[in-house]
């Protein structure tokens, strides 16, 4: 499952119990349409950090970063791109993250 699908399934099952996952297109405005509220934002942050191994800074909690599933997926991808120093030598090309990046 890719990032967008994981986000959509989580939102549909945990935050949008009245609707169906199909309604939640990647560009659907989640806050404007009251799928997610200000407390739901915190639930999402917990989920995203745990699921995708990223840590958000306080100033990254902007409407631009969380308005849609697409925006959140893009934020996760940006957070996951490590600096070149961390590239695994001779590996499969996958990135490896030092634990300090995960939880500091």
Partner 1 sequence: MAIPKQCDVVVIGGGPAGSVVAALLRQKQYDVVLLERKKHPRYAVGESLIPHFWKYCDAIGVGDAIRAEGFVRKSGGTLVWHNVIRQLAFRDFGYTEPALHVERDRFDQILLEHARHSGVQIFEEVSVSSVDLDGGERPRVMYRTPDGAETGEVACRFVVDASGQGALIAKQLGTRVIDEGFRFMSVWGYFDGGKYVAGDGRAYDIEHLGTVLPQTFVSSVGGLGEWGWAWHIPLRKSTSVGLVLPVEHLKKIKATDEGLREYFLRKCSEIPYLGRLLEQARLIDGSIHMVRDYSYRSAQLAGPGFFLIGDAAAFIDPIFSIGVVMGMYSASVAVWAIDHSFRNPRQTTRNQAIFASQFRARLEVSRSLALPRYRGIGEAADLARQAIQFESLMEQELMYVVSVVTTRTDNFHEIAERRDGQKLVSTRFRELQDIVF
Query: Interface with partner 1 by CB under 8 A: which residues?
Result: 31-34, 37-39, 41-42, 45-46, 55, 57-59, 61-63, 66-67, 103-104
Nearer to partner 1 among residue 92 and residue 99 (C-beta): 99
- Nearest-approach distance from CB 3 to partner 1, in angstroms: 21
Instruction: Report the SS3 class of residue 47.
Output: helix
- Nearest-approach distance from CB 78 to partner 1, in angstroms: 18
Q: Which of 72, 61, 62 is nearest to 3 (CA)?
A: 72
Give the integer Cα–Cα distance in Å for 56 and 76.
Answer: 9
Give the integer Cα–Cα distance in Å for 41 and 47.
Answer: 10
Nearer to partner 1 among residue 5 and residue 63 (C-beta): 63
- Nearest-approach distance from CB 12 to partner 1, in angstroms: 18
> Helix crossing, 3-10 with 38-52: angle to 10°?
140
């Amino acid at each position: 499952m890719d990032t967008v699908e994981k986000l959509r399934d989580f939102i549909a099952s945990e935050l949008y119990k009245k609707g169906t996952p199909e309604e939640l297109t990647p560009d659907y405005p989640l806050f404007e349409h009251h799928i997610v509220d200000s407390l739901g934002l915190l639930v999402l942050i917990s989920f995203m950090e745990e699921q995708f191994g990223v840590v958000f800074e306080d100033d990254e909690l902007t409407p631009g970063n969380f308005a849609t599933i697409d925006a959140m997926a893009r934020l996760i991808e940006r957070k996951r791109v490590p600096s070149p120093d961390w590239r695994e030598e001779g590996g499969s090309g996958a990135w490896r993250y030092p634990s300090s990046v995960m939880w500091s």
